Amino acid sequence: MDIAGSVALVTGSNRGIGRRFVLQLLERGATKVYATARRPELVDIEGVEVLPLDITDDASITAAAAAAPDVTLLVNNAGIATTGSLVHDDLTDARREMDTHFWGTLGMVRAFAPVIERNGGGGIVNVLSALSWFVFPGSGGYAAAKAAEWNMTNAVRLELASKGISVQGLHLGAADTDIMAGYDGPMVDPADVARASLDGVERDAAEVVVDEWSAMVKASLAGKPEEFYARFA
């Protein structure tokens, strides 16, 4: 699909990768961009239509779909990142991860797929992670939710293909955003993430792997897990 002339909705638009998506959609000639956030007052981009949205709240999703009936491109970017042990710690945060990344994203797909179909077709982007394919100690809740979101993305892609809706899975390692504050490893520019994804939308790419780290992790799936995880020992 063409970005120019599209009507897009981006979740988690107030900062980080979501904000970069909004800016690049405007630069590429999107007719309208709905910028959504749980705290819409934090969206500071001119030329957008701001909507409140909490993807863990079914009523909020329904209200957003009613308020944005002309959407042709949905960018599911909103997310959280928690840490902890799946074996020993309280599971409240792990459940929040699944409610946000799996059930919340799926709720958005279910609400907006009929909207996009009525508008003649279009696209959906699900922002995933290299952690869809591996885990490091403490990241179990996030990684499990992203792994579930990854295969959900594959499932809805198959279901929506006949409706004229392409579905992209977007994978990246660490991005230079607030959520990664304190991380001292290599990080990708969030503007490059949005750029790679939107380039992929225009060529109907089912999957976009942004950085070398994510590509390496994906390639490791063909090898022995013990060899890959020995790197973290």
Is 2 within the bounds of a domain?
Answer: no
**What average pLDDT does the segment 158-162 reach?**
98
Summarize pLDDT for 177-197 with one digit per residue, the tens. 666 556 566 767 889 999 999
Full-model pTM: 0.94
Is 222 within the bounds of a domain?
Answer: yes
Quote the pLDDT of residue 232.
Answer: 73
CA 137 – CA 14 distance, rounded (Å): 29
Residue 174 scores a pLDDT above 80: no
Please tell me the least confidently modeled range out of 71-80, 126-135, 167-176: 167-176
Q: What is the CATH number of the domain that holds 85?
A: 3.40.50.720
Residue 34 scores a pLDDT above 80: yes
**Residue 82 and residue 96 in contact, taking contact as beta carbons nearer than 8 Å:** yes
**Residue 2 and residue 16 in contact, taking contact as beta carbons nearer than 8 Å:** no
Is 1 within the bounds of a domain?
Answer: no
Residue 110 scores a pLDDT above 90: yes
Segments forming the whole domain that contains residue 32: 7-232
**Residue 84 and residue 37 in contact, taking contact as beta carbons nearer than 8 Å:** no
Please tell me the least confidently modeled range out of 65-69, 111-115, 132-136, 153-157: 132-136
Is 60 within the bounds of a domain?
Answer: yes
Q: How many residues does the chain have?
A: 233
**What average pLDDT does the segment 77-90 reach?**
95
**What average pLDDT does the segment 164-170 reach?**
98
Quote the pLDDT of residue 182.
Answer: 61
**What average pLDDT does the segment 196-224 reach?**
95
Is 118 within the bounds of a domain?
Answer: yes
Residue 145 scores a pLDDT above 70: yes
Residue 231 scores a pLDDT above 90: no
Q: What are the tokens at 27? A: 């630069």
**Residue 106 and residue 152 in contact, taking contact as beta carbons nearer than 8 Å:** yes
Residue of 48, 54, 119 lying closest to 80 (CA atoms): 54
Is 74 within the bounds of a domain?
Answer: yes
Radius of gyration of the chain (CA): 17
Is 129 within the bounds of a domain?
Answer: yes
Within 5-80, residue ranges assigned H as helices are 16-27, 58-67
Long-range contacts of the stretch 220-224 (C-beta < 8 A, 24+): 220/133, 220/134, 221/133
Looking at the 3D structure of the chain, how many domains does it have? 1
**Residue 157 and residue 105 in contact, taking contact as beta carbons nearer than 8 Å:** no
CA 162 – CA 159 distance, rounded (Å): 7
